Amino acid sequence: MSPDAGPDTGADVGAAVDPVVDPDVNPDIDPDIDRAVDRAVDPAVDRDRYRLAIGRFATGVTVLTTFAGGNDHAMTANAVTSVSMDPLLLLVCVEVDARFHDAISDSGVWGVSVLSAAQRPVAEWLSTQGRPLHGQLDRIPHRRGEVTGVALLTEAMAAMECRTTDMHPAGDHSIVVGEVVSLWSAEHPADALVYYRSRYGALR
């Protein structure tokens, strides 16, 4: 998800939470009510309120990388989730309109570099709309992954190479699932870069 909303002011958090309507959980409630609630959309559910709510889910920050059309592509991403331990699968969500989307679709291989707090300027740069594609990694130390050749950030706290196993359309994003084909973790991890309420922070 592209967190393009302004900072969370916390000013408008009024949506009441529905009571438990699952009849298995609350047997006093008629199951018809459950179906009615499934169909209904609370008018208070809109994008701004969703951004506010989901912005309270603190995440780490990564840089996704791939190589396509003779160029390194890279972008900041926090929609990154570990999926499976056997096999080792990871998913990332990539906005359909991002340049990175076509690149990852074409290449089928990608890297995930987990950022430290000191790499905040990297996260800011690689989420800047309209930055030039050519040379966007020139001032960011990186190396080539041994298996896929994608760029991996040298100063990251961990890095993985993945090969795409599935791509699922999901609204204005695609869910890209990949098998981890190489991984590396820094011996002495620094403070983590975190993203919370539309702001960067550090976690010791």
Ligand X SMILES: Cc1cc2nc3c(=O)[nH]c(=O)nc-3n(C[C@H](O)[C@H](O)[C@H](O)COP(=O)(O)O)c2cc1C
Residues that bind ligand X (CB under 6 A): 1-3, 61, 75-79, 93-95, 98-100, 127, 129, 195
CB of 158 closer than 8 Å to CB of 123: no
- Measured from the CB atom, the residue of 1 and 89 that comes closer to ligand X is 1
Q: How far apart are the first and last CA of the chain?
A: 25
Report, in Å, the least distance between residue 25 CB and ligand X.
32
> Residue 194 Cβ, how far from ligand X at the closest point, in Å?
9
H-state helical runs in 5-71: 31-39, 47-54
- From CA 124, how far away is CA 113, in angstroms rounded? 15
Shortest distance (Å) from residue 166 CB to ligand X: 17
CB–CB of 100/64 below 8 Å?
yes
The structure tokens listed for 160 are: 């993985």
Our CB check for ligand X shows the closer of 61 and 156 to be: 61
Residue 121, CB-side half-sphere exposure with 13 Å CA sphere: 7
The smaller minimum CB distance to ligand X, of residues 99 and 197, is found at 99
**CB closer to ligand X, 8 vs 95:** 95
Q: How far is the CB of 133 from ligand X (least distance, A)?
A: 7
Q: Give the three-state DSSP class for 49.
A: helix
When the beta carbons of 129 and 139 are compared against ligand X, the nearer one is 129
CB of 179 to ligand X, least distance (A): 19
Angstrom distance (rounded) from CA 179 to CA 191: 27
